[in-house]
Structure 1
Amino acid sequence: MTSDADTVVRPRTVRLRADATRNRERIVSAAREAIVEFGPDVALDEVARRARLGNATIYRHFADRTELIRQVTLSVMARAAQCAEDALVEEADAFSALCRFVFEAAEERIGALCPMLSEAFDRRDPEVAAAVGRLDRSVTAVMERARNAGQLRGDVAVGDLMVALTQLTRPLPGTGCLGFDRFAQRHLQLFLDGLRAPARSELVGTSATLEELQSCHK
């Protein structure tokens, strides 16, 4: 039998949990943008300012900077994987799905974040390993669909795509160029045109996998 106390407490408990979830999401989002601008050593005061929360709220959710960066890393990989999965389902044309993933992943700032965060998380962490695996599978599925449709050249793999995406969307050091996104979009389109089949050149070496890219940082 439900008591009067239960009736009073439960709605407030639900609200508190919802507020806590929103605050956590605001912190991760603010940290993501701050890391893009200042690097992984950004002051937590700056993260708190961007999230419009007190420092104490950050420490209630994250024990230290390492845990916050870990969560940002997981969030970036999850969002990128979701971009690939949505594109695969929603785009009728296989190469359009690949293009959509590339541009949406660029909007997630994956190029600026991944190089900085790659040194900061433990690849033996089961949650990190699962996130990497999901990203690999999702992007591979998008690329395989385009390849099977005869639209993607056969000598590239997920690692090749992620290297290019990272390099072409990483802000140039010391430029402070507010319009850099415009240039990144142009360069990504040039890169995507180069992925189309039939290939007009033969690439040197072998295609790179995501696993090989990870091993470069070990």
Structure 2
Amino acid sequence: MTATTIAGTAVPAAGAASGTPEAAAGCGGFEAGRAPRLRADALRNRERIVAAAREMFVESGAQVALDEIARRAGVGNATLYRHFPDREALVHEVVVCVMARITRSAERAAAEEADPFGALRRFTHEAADERIGALCPMLSGTFDHDEPGIAAARDRLEGAVQGLFERAQAAGRMRPDVAVGDLLVALSQLTRPLPGTACPVNDQFVHRHLQLLLDGLEAPARSELPGAPATLEALRQHGRP
């Protein structure tokens, strides 16, 4: 995997995290709470299906044909349906997988970076490579936000990112008039694809624009922000980005 150095932090090149099924696999443990115990070969097939679905949901939206996902994953249709009986089950697994991967990024950054703001910066760029904005269209309609697996993954993610924010603000490295939701909304907007449109050029600007955002979050603040900070509670009340 290649990397790009941004403000002293090495981050994966845009799209690297979701470029291949092998690179995107690895959502075991609590993340795949509904998955049964599987043989090694069956587990690999399941992970390849989830990874391929992530890629194709970003590229074409959540309504992409399931047989196309099976083809991308290198498995037969019967194998896909054996693991995921319907689209809802597959979307659920993809959402939980992406949240789990982002959570691990936040936890690793907190553990490995001495500078609290450097940890937040590293997490932000890694989360962007997961294209978390692609989740938004999948979280509408009949999607069950309170399903136990989803709720557990969401709570762990929010706790990890909240911890990054609190440490950076306590150290005086982040302006005090922002909240976790401000970053999550911006991440969602910058990484939300437009299915069916030919805009690959946009990817090359994601990390550049994120760095501009991060410069604005760093203390000391250069201006007074209008409105109130976007807290996690506010996002829950008014709908997530």
Shorter-chain TM-score bucket reads 0.7 to 0.9
Residue of 191, 194, 199 corresponding to 2:213: 191
Residue of 59, 65, 74 corresponding to 2:87: 65
Partner of 1:8: none
Give the drift of 1:114: 2.2
Partner of 2:137: 116
1:101-132 deviation per Cα after TM superposition (whole angstroms, max 9, x unaligned): 00000111112x22112215312211111111
Distance in 1 between residues matched to 2:40 and 2:196, nearest whole Å: 40
Contact 1:118/1:217 (<8 A) preserved: no
Q: Cα distance 1:81–1:56, how it changes in 2: closer, same or farther (>3 A)?
A: same
Q: Cα distance 1:75–1:173, how it changes in 2: closer, same or farther (>3 A)?
A: closer
Distance in 1 between residues matched to 2:145 and 2:233, nearest whole Å: 11
**More RCO (CA 8 Å, sep 6+):** 2
Distance in 2 between residues matched to 1:101 and 1:135, nearest whole Å: 12
Q: Number of matched residues?
A: 202
Contact 1:88/1:97 (<8 A) preserved: yes
SS of 1:49's partner is: helix
Give the drift of 1:168: 1.5
Q: Which runs of 5+ in 2 are unaligned?
A: 1-37
Distance in 2 between residues matched to 1:35 and 1:216, nearest whole Å: 25
1:150-187 deviation per Cα after TM superposition (whole angstroms, max 9, x unaligned): 11111111111100011122235665132322111111
Letter in 2 for 1:27: I
Contact 1:171/1:180 (<8 A) preserved: no
Partner of 2:177: 155
Matched ranges for 1:52-131 at <5 A: 52-111=74-133, 113-119=134-140, 121-131=143-153
1:50-74 deviation per Cα after TM superposition (whole angstroms, max 9, x unaligned): 1011110010001100010000000
TM-score (norm 1): 0.87
Give the drift of 1:49: 1.1
Contact 2:61/2:195 (<8 A) preserved: no
Give the drift of 1:195: 0.2
The structure whose Rg is larger is 1
Q: What's the C-alpha RMSD, in Å, of the aligned pairs?
A: 1.6
Higher mean C-alpha deviation, range 101-110 or range 203-212:
203-212
Contact 1:156/1:207 (<8 A) preserved: yes
Residue of 165, 169, 178 corresponding to 2:200: 178
Higher share of residues assigned helix: 1
TM-score (norm 2): 0.79
Q: Cα distance 1:174–1:128, how it changes in 2: closer, same or farther (>3 A)?
A: closer
| Percent identity (aligned) | 60
Letter in 1 for 2:75: L
Distance in 2 between residues matched to 1:131 and 1:210, nearest whole Å: 15
Partner of 1:214: 236
Distance in 2 between residues matched to 1:69 and 1:215, nearest whole Å: 24
Partner of 1:18: 40
